[in-house]
Chain A
Amino acid sequence: MHWSRKRNRARARVPIRRVLAAILFCLLLAGCTAPVLTPQGYFSDRIHDMWQLMFPISIVVFVVVLLTLFYALFRQRRPGEGENLRAGRTMVLFGGAILPGIVMIILMVEVVAILVDVSLIGGQLERQGENRGLIGQPNVAEPEAEVADLVVDVIGRHWWWEVIYPNQGIVTANEIHMPEDALVLVRLTSDGVMHSFWVPALNGKTDMLPGSISNTWLHGYYTDAYRGQCAEYCGIGHAKMRLLTITQTEEDLEVYLSREAEPAPEPTTEETIRGQAVFVEQGCAACHAIRGLSDAGEIGPDLTHLLSRREIAAGTLVNTRGNRAGWIVDSQSIKPGNMMPPFPMPPSDLQALLAYLDTLE
């Protein structure tokens, strides 16, 4: 009886162990795919330094305190043992006050070091020629560039990102193209409510406030695409307010920027001409600007080079012809609460409109 019960228990343990292993595996996997822990640029890397300092300290603190607790709970208690109150109070003083104090001083030094680094490369830089702040000369060791290689303005809208390249005269949406291994100044504001700009692989969050401009910096080591998302609750479309940051080689970026700077081409085929007419008739132009056709629209994204974007509806859908059609006909079921009303229209009109949109490369 005894024996069999024991065996049963041993058998019953295996799946639990497997479940634990599976959970652990998932967590490790999560750790490996977590953008905060796998930084892809200077700023996120510098932030990650903080984590690398704090994480081991945390583990040590946790283990030590927990072991102390376990010993306190389960130590052998001898009958008639005396008590050493002085030792207890020493533990309170050292464990509770002095050790945390030391740890905090170490952490604070690193915090200030990172703040100094980041603000000397970042925060202070846009004020060139001005006083460089309390610490003197900027740290120009890494990355090499002292000035911003590219300036991008991002305006938080309901619920998408208007992306403006002020020096190139480009207006686009939900996609930031930037050179690899270069310093990009992002000037943030909002046209209504608060948003927060967050590309976890490249940098921490910066809040976007109406009526004021806040700066942040992006830097990516490699060419890749990084997901960003609004991180401050901004209303019903908050969950579907995403953006894409694309780091490119210098040459690719130049091609992209020069293409984006051109106005939209005039439609040439019969169908696309009709599609343009549908665009105007249906009132699309009231909200969407297309340079060369109409600059009036300000509520929705600029569609001049719609086809150059990977996604539509602020990262909600992949930018395919089918998704564009679905979005035009019934955007509310895809992204509830967004500013675009449904546009039911005869199939022939829709096909023409889609054909016209296909020319906006």
Chain B
Amino acid sequence: MDQLAMDQLRRAWRSPTGLASVTAVNHRIVGKRYIFTGLIFMALAGILALTMVTQLSTANRQVLNPEAYAQFFTMHGTTMMFLFAVPIMEGVGIYIVPLMIGARDLAFPKLSAFGYWVYLIAGITLYAALLLGEAPNAGWYNYVPLAGPEFSPGLNIDFYATAITFLEISAITAAVELIITIFKERGPGMSLNRIPIFVWAILGISFMIVFAFPPLMIGSTFLALDRLVGTHFYNVALGGSPLLWQHLFWWFGHPEVYIIAIPAFGMVSTIIPTFAQRRIIAYLPVVLALGVISLVSFGLWVHHMFALSISWLGMSYFSAASMAIGIPSGVQVFAWIGTLWASKGLVWKTPLLWVVGFIPLFLIGGITGIMVAAIPFDWQVTDSQFITAHFHYVLIGGSVFPLFGALYYWLPKVTGRLMSETLGKISFWFAFIGFNIAFFTLHFTGLMGMPRRVYTYGQDAGWGTTMSITLAGAIILATGFALTFANIIWSLFRGRPAGDNPWNAPTLEWSTSSPPPPYNFATTPVVHSRTPLWDERETGQHEEIVFDVDSEVREMMGTTPLDATPEQRILVPKPSIWPLILAIAVGIAFIGSIFNLLFFPIGALLSLVALVGWAWPGSRHHREVKHERFQY
């Protein structure tokens, strides 16, 4: 490509800077915003957690009063699930997936920008509520009738019901976007059997989000209607049912756990082969395992409700289905171990450390997961600290550890600078040791009879010893995570330049510069195998497409879903302010309705205006692609 064309390309894809950057729609900018915001929320939730565990470290301690404690644990759970885990996994997907499949942007960049603003507004609303002392206070799963108008008359649950409904719009937009992008924008030649496993994982969770989040939105809309309009969906006295909430919530809530875990598995399946310097063994079983988990996770939700008196025949089905998750998980664990085994020499860099550390933690979380799937044992440990320990092993050990590995792995691509290896390894060991001290001990506290969500306990309960061990572990764990935050900041200023491919990794995102140019790839990459960069090097092939896409406008190539043969040009929108305006308008409708129902029609009308602005016709032009011009 000549210099003129490159300049054109750069001009066409350049994102606005300064104040105008709110109009940016590019996937790398939106992805970075998601990741950065997610990390901020993680830090906030961590501070809440440390305060709570300090409160619980000895009997009758008075750090938090019960109301503050209730708001803290609700916000901790809500933040970690809704404001941290799902957005940051989607954020990594939004940033990395187009690069991994050789695309220049997502399919609907304006939609992803809109999703981000919605997420930001919802998160700020919830934390503003916390600062006002009016944060949700009925737990992140917010059971009615406690969360209903009769027993929670304050604004607290109004914030939950409206902000969560609103927030999930963002998750769904990102999911729709990623599905279309993965199906339609893969580089020529990246047929289904060549898709990187991380992309499969993102595809899997995107479908899960599309099916799991609407029930939650329906549930929380019913709740908002009960509270704000006076309907009786959950009012027992008038024929409503609190169980309806539980079913709707857990129909979402269980897949949610895998929506967080599956991208983490995908990260592990990406990082291990890179540092083992060989392909993953059993690619197909691993992809099938991800698919099976995505599907089966929709048949598990009743295992959160075993303590209700439900027919035991019905419960046994959910018990067996929950245990069955052990099979696809086992397949993946052994595929990872097998890949490490088959390596001719491991490269012990920080990302690998986090991912190898993940395996025993996930194993423990999986084993206790099978334990709590056994109905009788679950009667004892559900809603006790044993469960708290279990899901922290799965969610922190099983998802945040790989996520941190992925940060060490991919942030050099994002920032162009390597993070400190030494600091990274110290950070890992603090987190790993602290995590185990804190949460392994917590299993025992649960077996000793300590329920969840108690803000204090008496001297006679005897939980002081183990809870103070947990506090010590939590402090070490927090130090570990904080060191990684410090490492990220350090790397921005002092990190060594990363180069295009610091890890000698096999996937396409490493074929472009770090950080990638605004257009990602100067020419659309052609894919011949699952590990294009390795095979290219080995065989000396270097084919590129004769590029027929305009470099004057934001245009990229669309391919067919199965074989990824080129079939169309996709014109991608330019920066636009309308996503932000639409997000604000929808926010006025949802958040405003807490205070006055009139805000809902007002917000709806404003949204309509914003949508008109959004869809105002630009200078679109579609041309047929001449197939013969692609040589691959």
Report whether chain A binds chain B.
yes
Q: Are A108's CB and B281's CB within 8 A?
A: no
Report if A207-B307 is in contact (Cβ < 8 Å); known contacts: A88-B281, A198-B451, A238-B454. Answer: yes
In the bound complex, CA of A238 to CA of B125 (Å): 27
Report if A107-B444 is in contact (Cβ < 8 Å); known contacts: A229-B449, A233-B453, A239-B457. Answer: no
Binds B, one of A33-41, A260-268, A345-353: A33-41
Closest to B70 in A: A236
Binds A, one of B92-100, B101-109, B462-470, B514-522: B462-470
Q: Which chain B residues (92-138) contact chain A, with CB distance < 8 Å?
A: 138
Q: Please, which residues of chain B bring their CB within 8 A of the CB of A75?
A: 341
| Tally of B interface residues using CB under 8 Å | 90
Closest to B236 in A: A211
Closest to B241 in A: A211
In the bound complex, CA of A231 to CA of B338 (Å): 42
Q: Are B151's CB and A235's CB within 8 A?
A: yes
In the bound complex, CA of A34 to CA of B132 (Å): 40
The interface bits of chain B over 310-330 (1 if a CB of A lies within 8 angstroms of the residue's CB, else 0) are: 001101100110011011011
Chain B nearest CB, measured from A323 CB (Å): 13
The interface bits of chain B over 448-486 (1 if a CB of A lies within 8 angstroms of the residue's CB, else 0) are: 110111111110011001100100000000000000000
Q: Are B370's CB and A95's CB within 8 A?
A: no
Closest to A72 in B: B341
In the bound complex, CA of A215 to CA of B320 (Å): 24
Q: Please, which residues of chain A bring their CB within 8 A of the CB of B285?
A: 89, 92-93, 96
Q: Are A204's CB and B360's CB within 8 A?
A: no
> Which residue of A119, A207, A210, A227 is within 8 Å of B449 (Cβ)?
A227
Q: Does chain A have a CB within 8 A of B346?
A: yes
Q: Are B334's CB and A30's CB within 8 A?
A: no
Q: Does chain A have a CB within 8 A of B145?
A: yes
Among A103, A108, A337, the most chain B Cβ lie within 10 Å of the Cβ of: A108
Binds A, one of B254-262, B372-380, B417-425, B601-609: B372-380
Q: Are B143's CB and A107's CB within 8 A?
A: no
> Which residue of A54, A73, A101 is within 8 Å of B371 (Cβ)?
A54
In the bound complex, CA of A305 to CA of B345 (Å): 76
The interface bits of chain A over 56-68 (1 if a CB of B lies within 8 angstroms of the residue's CB, else 0) are: 0010011001101
Q: Does chain A have a CB within 8 A of B367?
A: yes
Q: Does chain B have a CB within 8 A of A44?
A: yes
Q: Are B307's CB and A196's CB within 8 A?
A: yes
Q: Does chain B have a CB within 8 A of A118?
A: yes
> Which residue of B66, B333, B334, B452 is within 8 Å of A336 (Cβ)?
B66
Q: Does chain B have a CB within 8 A of A77?
A: yes
Q: Does chain B have a CB within 8 A of A292?
A: no
Q: Does chain B have a CB within 8 A of A27?
A: yes
Q: Does chain A have a CB within 8 A of B242?
A: yes
Q: Are A205's CB and B307's CB within 8 A?
A: yes
Q: Please, which residues of chain B bring their CB within 8 A of the CB of A26?
A: 465-466, 469
Q: Please, which residues of chain A bring their CB within 8 A of the CB of B146?
A: 193-194, 233-235
Report if A193-B337 is in contact (Cβ < 8 Å); known contacts: A104-B370, A214-B309. Answer: no
Size class of the A contact interface (CB-based, 8 Å): 35 or more
Closest to B461 in A: A227
The interface bits of chain A over 93-130 (1 if a CB of B lies within 8 angstroms of the residue's CB, else 0) are: 10111011101100110111011101100010000000
Q: Please, which residues of chain A bring their CB within 8 A of the CB of B243?
A: 209
Among A205, A211, A235, the most chain B Cβ lie within 10 Å of the Cβ of: A205
Q: Does chain A have a CB within 8 A of B195?
A: no
Q: Which chain A residues (209-257) contact chain B, with CB distance < 8 Å?
A: 209-211, 214-215, 227, 229-240
> Which residue of A47, A69, A108, A200 is within 8 Å of B319 (Cβ)?
A108
> Which residue of A85, A99, A198 is within 8 Å of B330 (Cβ)?
A99
The interface bits of chain B over 353-365 (1 if a CB of A lies within 8 angstroms of the residue's CB, else 0) are: 0001001100110
In the bound complex, CA of A30 to CA of B374 (Å): 23
Chain B nearest CB, measured from A92 CB (Å): 4
Q: Are A206's CB and B307's CB within 8 A?
A: yes
Q: Are B376's CB and A62's CB within 8 A?
A: no
Q: Please, which residues of chain B bring their CB within 8 A of the CB of A116?
A: 312
Q: Please, which residues of chain B bring their CB within 8 A of the CB of A196?
A: 307, 383
Chain A nearest CB, measured from B520 CB (Å): 34
Report if A96-B327 is in contact (Cβ < 8 Å); known contacts: A88-B281, A227-B449, A233-B453. Answer: yes
Q: Are B448's CB and A33's CB within 8 A?
A: yes
Q: Please, which residues of chain A bring their CB within 8 A of the CB of B338?
A: 72, 88-89, 91-92
Closest to B463 in A: A30
Q: Please, which residues of chain A bring their CB within 8 A of the CB of B204?
A: none
In the bound complex, CA of A240 to CA of B416 (Å): 54
Q: Please, which residues of chain B bring their CB within 8 A of the CB of A237?
A: 66
Q: Are A27's CB and B441's CB within 8 A?
A: yes
Q: Are B331's CB and A30's CB within 8 A?
A: no
Closest to A59 in B: B367
Q: Are B330's CB and A96's CB within 8 A?
A: yes
Q: Please, which residues of chain B bring their CB within 8 A of the CB of A58?
A: 367, 370-371
Q: Does chain A have a CB within 8 A of B552?
A: no
> Which residue of B337, B451, B466 is within 8 Å of A72 (Cβ)?
B337
Q: Does chain B have a CB within 8 A of A71?
A: yes
Q: Which chain B residues (218-275) contact chain A, with CB distance < 8 Å?
A: 236-237, 242-243
In the bound complex, CA of A69 to CA of B360 (Å): 9
In the bound complex, CA of A35 to CA of B146 (Å): 29
Q: Are B451's CB and A73's CB within 8 A?
A: no
Q: Does chain A have a CB within 8 A of B615?
A: no
Q: Does chain A have a CB within 8 A of B532?
A: no
Q: Are B316's CB and A88's CB within 8 A?
A: no
Report if A239-B456 is in contact (Cβ < 8 Å); known contacts: A33-B448, A205-B380, A234-B146. Answer: yes
Q: Are A73's CB and B67's CB within 8 A?
A: no
Q: Which chain B residues (275-313) contact chain A, with CB distance < 8 Å?
A: 281-282, 285, 305, 307-309, 312-313
Closest to A211 in B: B236
Q: Please, which residues of chain A bring their CB within 8 A of the CB of B455?
A: 238-239
The interface bits of chain B over 382-418 (1 if a CB of A lies within 8 angstroms of the residue's CB, else 0) are: 1110100000000000000000000000000000000
Closest to B346 in A: A73
Q: Please, which residues of chain A bring their CB within 8 A of the CB of B453?
A: 233, 238-239
Q: Does chain B have a CB within 8 A of A296?
A: no
Q: Please, which residues of chain B bring their CB within 8 A of the CB of A341?
A: none
Q: Are A35's CB and B448's CB within 8 A?
A: yes
In the bound complex, CA of A47 to CA of B454 (Å): 24
Q: Please, which residues of chain A bring their CB within 8 A of the CB of B376?
A: 46-47, 50, 111, 114-115, 118, 204
Q: Please, which residues of chain B bring their CB within 8 A of the CB of A111?
A: 316, 319, 374-376
Closest to B309 in A: A214
In the bound complex, CA of A51 to CA of B327 (Å): 21
> Which residue of B334, B346, B378 is within 8 Å of A91 (Cβ)?
B334
Q: Please, which residues of chain A bring their CB within 8 A of the CB of B379?
A: 47, 203-206
Q: Are B337's CB and A68's CB within 8 A?
A: yes
Chain A nearest CB, measured from B315 CB (Å): 8
Given contacts A88-B282, A97-B327, A194-B143, 15 further A-B contacts (CB under 8 A): A30-B447, A31-B447, A36-B380, A46-B376, A75-B341, A96-B285, A96-B332, A100-B329, A107-B374, A111-B374, A114-B375, A115-B376, A207-B305, A214-B309, A231-B307
Interface CB pairs A-B, < 8 A, 15: A34-B444, A58-B371, A71-B341, A91-B334, A92-B281, A96-B331, A97-B330, A103-B326, A108-B316, A123-B312, A193-B151, A206-B379, A210-B145, A211-B236, A232-B143
Instruction: Rank and list the top 8 A-B pairs by shortest CB-CB distance, nearest first.
Output: A204-B379, A239-B454, A96-B331, A72-B341, A96-B330, A34-B447, A88-B338, A214-B309
